[in-house]
Amino acid sequence: MHENEISKIIFDLGLKIHKNLGPGLLESAYEECLFYEISKAGLFVEKQKPMPLIYEEVKLDIGYRIDLLVEKSVVIEVKSCEALNDVHLAQVLTYLKLSGCRLGLLINFNTNLFKNGYRRILNGNVSL
């Protein structure tokens, strides 16, 4: 399945969760719900996937963890904050670089409209 198809499914599932729960919950609650919904949709999803840093052929496990990795190709970073900022974007860019994935989704559930908290990052380019 192509990354665009996967991201469409994830958007729809995130929207469903947001409609049911609304903003204001902890990040971990949204992450668990999204993990559940993605699994239920039949996609392979890994939660809190460790992502080591390779430096001069040495694998360093220094605590990087991707919130959700879908079909080994789409990185999802879940947030529940007042507003997304450059640090959140940098986090997704780092995960894309370390994982070798092309597409990252930065999802902030703490918004009145779900679409306002949804960002696609494709090879370092951000789109709404």
* pLDDT tens string 56-101: 888 888 889 999 999 999 999 999 999 999 999 999 999 999 999 9
Which is nearest to 118 in space by CA: 68, 64, 87, 76?
76
Burial 19-56 (b: 16+ CB within 10 A, else e): eeeeeeeebeebbebbbebbeeeebebebebebeeeee
Beta bridge partners of 70: 45, 74
Neighbours of 79 (CB within 10 A): 22
- Give this prediction's pTM: 0.92
- Mean pLDDT of all residues belonging to the chain: 94
* pLDDT the model gives residue 85: 94
Pick the CATH number of 3-127 from 2.60.40, 2.40.160, 3.20.20, 3.40.1350: 3.40.1350
> What are 2's two structure tokens?
């192509």
